[in-house]
Amino acid sequence: MNNKEYWFWLCNIHNIGLKKIQAILDMYETPEGAFHESEKGLELLKELTDADRHMIHKSKDSVRIKESYAKVIDKGIYFVTKEDTQYPDKLRNIFNPPFALYVKGNLPKNHIGSIAVIGARNCSDYGREVTKYFAGELAKAGLQVISGLARGIDGFAHEGALAGGGSTYGVLGSGIDICYPIENFSLYMDMQKQGGIISEYGIGVNPNPGFFPMRNRIISGICDGIFVVEAKEKSGSLITVDIGLEQGKNIYAMPGRINDQLSKGCNNLIKIGAKLVSEPEDILEDFFLNYKNSEKDMKKNYKLLETKEKMVYDSLSFFPKHMNEIAGETNFSIHELSEILLNLELKNYIKQVRKNYYVYIL
Amino acid sequence: MFSKALSAAVNGIDGMIVTVEADVSDGLPMFDLVGYLGSEVREARERVRISLKNSGYHLPPKRITINLSPADIRKEGTAFDLPIAIAILTAFGYIPQENLEHTLFIGELSLNGEINKVNGVLPIVYTAFKQGFTRCIVPVSNIKEGAVVQGIDVYGVSSLQEVIRFLNNDSLLEPYFLDVEELFSNHTEKEDIDFSDVTGQELAKRAIEVAASGMHNILMVGPPGAGKTMLAKRIPTIMPELSFEESLEISKIYSVSGLLNNNQSLILKRPFRSPHHTITTAALTGGGGTPMPGEISLSHFGVLFLDEFPEFNRNTIEILRQPLEENEVTITRLQGTFRYPANFMMVAAMNPCSCGHYPDRSKCNCSPNQVKRYLGKISRPLLDRIDICIETLQVSYKDLKEKKVSETSKNIRERVMKVREVQMQRYRNENFNYNSQLTPKTISKYCKLGKEEQILIEKAFTKMNLSARAYHRILKVARTIADLDSAENINLKHLSEAICYRSLDKKYWEE
């Protein structure tokens, strides 16, 4: 058995978690040492129970370990331990780093800045559009976009980053080969080509509510800054922020209206000192010393549009607007308006987010 | 002695002539009924015997046999009581056989000799007329319904004695006269609902106008209280008034179902049926042991409104696919196959999620998955049959307060009627009447696109990921919009409006 296989063994013993592994390593220094030690020696460790010792003893089946390790490799999954050079440096320095990571695709590069974009699962249409835009711009500027491949903001962050042509990394709260939630399967596949999927858990481990806070420490660990787009007052995203603060990361938050449930968490973050983000430059200037603010308008250049189209375009925002409302503001009849909207849509200026609801595209 | 009287049964929504034969011969006193009879018809024996007695006729103890011919078709209902009684009396010589010629009898007897109302009088009288009968004797409570058929004398009778006296020429009975034209002209709109009652919702109103003009099926998605039901209820008020032929066909269906009221001779208002979402398959499409028309047939030439669309039982809704394609429903039972017309406009309404407020995140807490599951309750094939889909908006207080003068049903109806005429004219050589019934083959014939229009639809096709079916639906709706605009050809603005109404794409369904 080689060194990797010893590590693989140590990280995959039932009921032996981070603390117990740490205790074992404190005693034997390497997994190989632990493997060849007799059961008696383990009795000195007060962290381990009799059942644990029995489990460790039972798991020392080198043929089976080799087989299961080969299975992981066969699936195109990398097993990266703390000793490897590929292991992200930023992660090494957190309070309780994972001993090994399973990776599909790549790991984030150490020398490139990375930003975590996180937020609520039940996000609004506004949140979705904003996330896609920001993730796209950040990725275009060269940042690595990190998130949790969950529903809502997380997924849209990855989507935006992919569309922006940058690299994006997803940290899972389940086994590396399990895509949860399944809706994000196409993202899961695409990200392996343009970034990577990372998990602390091996093949076939089902998602478990307890895994997600643990996953959050990795998200905050491998990034340099955390950007919260939409979060309720009590949100899982805030756990990531808390861990991030302990790890000394920059916190960015998107402001929202004061009575908006989905923005309360963000507004509270800003209140206690997070950086208010209203345009991608707010984040980028922290990453690139000489980042010059191009002062570009939030809206597309619309010199090419006709007068009527400009009127309609001007009445739109990131908040989805129903055709009736647009008609009310611009005084166009429904059949006139539908033609203008279709033209704008075909010209890629606006987008229909739901039936008869429109937003503009940046 | 042998005698026969003629009657009729209802088959589907048409009448079928039944000969009631009676024979009186010597032997043990008996009263036998044969001819594949349902239990109501078999019970007629007691009703006939006692009502004859109570009408003052003494039947000698003889062997009486009644046969209902054709004997291989099952007969149901109580309308044979009267012809059976008449046939017996004729066999005993109370009425001369020749007096029964070209006369059709229907009616249910009560024990004291009175004649009660029955269902299906209109289709029966209509069939009698077509088959060359000269007079029909029907219960007096059904007289207005029967008298609609012109060219045949229809007599309303209230007791068995009255019939006998009439047949023996002892008393004179006037055929009932109903002025159908007056009925139609006197039918003044006493509608207490009007399109101008609805404030705001310009998009929905316009879409409904288009839908009603081309008989397109429409789906409205919106939060509770956005006025979906209110709009749907007003759709019949903008559809053209019923023609006599249409009215006759609808009335036949209602007559068979026993839904014509006593004083009603014809259905003059376009049907608006709004079945509850717990409805069963049989009640929706028709069926039952003895098939009866279902809600889709009762909404023939009118509107079938399915509120809370996703709440309907999935199997029940899926049944709609065939009637929506063929405009009729075929029901096969042991007794035979029945066809009921079902040419209706389907109007469906639904909420965007189970709480009803998505995408308003300040009210809706549904997870994306829940929303998707809710929308997913409607199958693709059914959505493919819905040409127009719109989302309605919650009405704001501003809209309610600022009572803008909106168009009345009368104005909209004028435009709709104009478009209907254009379609009639255009499809005079085809076997359909409305734009919604265009098939892919006829679409290429009647919905020709210019160069610019083709470029637009091509762009939209690739940009919006449309399917072939969606493409055809867009063209059909564009044709109607062009007709509303009195345009010969479909041009850019018609096409873009139709694209705006297109049904939900797969993408929207999944996002």
Pinpoint the alpha helices (H) of B299-408.
Answer: 314-318, 321-326, 368-375, 380-383, 397-401
pLDDT digits 0-9 by tens, B302-330 = 999 999 999 999 889 988 988 998 888 98
Cβ-nearest to A334 among B206, B369, B393: B206
> What distance in Å separates the CA atoms of residue A195 and residue A193, rounded to the nearest whole number?
6
Q: Comparing C-alpha atoms, which of B230, B302, B314, B224 is closest to residue B277?
A: B314
Ordered structural domains, chain B, with CATH:
2-178 (3.30.230.10), 195-432 (3.40.50.300), 438-511 (1.10.8)
Per-residue pLDDT band for A13 (boundaries 50, 70, 90) equals: confident
Q: Report the residue of A338, A349, A354 to disrupt the B interface, i.e. the one with the largest count of B CBs within 10 Å.
A: A338
pLDDT digits 0-9 by tens, A255-296 = 999 988 899 999 999 999 999 999 888 898 888 876 665 555
CA distances from A241 to A139, A218, B76, B280, B298 (A): 21, 12, 77, 54, 62
Per-residue pLDDT band for A149 (boundaries 50, 70, 90) equals: very high
3-state secondary structure at position A183? helix
Is residue A139 within 8 Å of residue B382, measured between CB atoms?
no
> What distance in Å separates the CA atoms of residue A311 and residue B491, rounded to the nearest whole number?
23
Strands A350-354 and A357-360, how do they pair? antiparallel
Structural domain boundaries of chain A? Answer: 1-74, 114-287, 307-360
Q: Which residues contact A47 (CB under 8 A, 6 or more apart)?
A: A19, A20, A23
Sheet holding A168-175, edge to edge: A78-81, A100-105, A195-201, A168-175, A144-147, A114-118, A225-228, A250-253, A275-276
pLDDT digits 0-9 by tens, A168-210 = 999 999 999 999 888 888 899 999 999 999 999 988 899 999 8
- At the second CATH level, the architecture of A114-287 is 3-Layer(aba) Sandwich (3.40)
Mean predicted lDDT score pLDDT of chain A: 88
Distance of CA A218 to the CA centre of its chain: 10
> What distance in Å separates the CA atoms of residue B392 and residue A247, rounded to the nearest whole number?
48
Chain A residues with CB under 8 Å of B221 CB are: 355
Is residue A144 within 8 Å of residue A166, measured between CB atoms?
yes
Say whether residue A38 is in contact with chain B using an 8 A CB cutoff.
no
Q: Report the residue of B198, B490, B492, B496 to disrupt the A interface, i.e. the one with the largest count of A CBs within 10 Å.
A: B496
> What distance in Å separates the CA atoms of residue A265 and residue A271, rounded to the nearest whole number?
10
Q: Which residues contact A291 (CB under 8 A, 6 or more apart)?
A: A141, A281, A284, A285
Given this model, what pLDDT does residue B189 score?
57
Q: Which residues contact B401 (CB under 8 A, 6 or more apart)?
A: none
Given this model, what pLDDT does residue B1 score?
84
- With tokens 């006493």, the residue in question is B190
Whole-structure pTM value: 0.80
Which residues of chain B register pLDDT less than 70?
A: 187-190, 262-263, 403, 503-511
Cis check: omega of the bond before A181, within 30 degrees of 0? yes
Please tell me the CATH code under which domain A307-360 is placed. Answer: 1.10.10.10
Q: Comparing C-alpha atoms, which of B503, B494, B505, B452 is closest to residue B473?
A: B503
Among all residues of chain B, which has the CA nearest to that of A127? B361
Q: In this predicted complex, what is the ipTM? A: 0.76
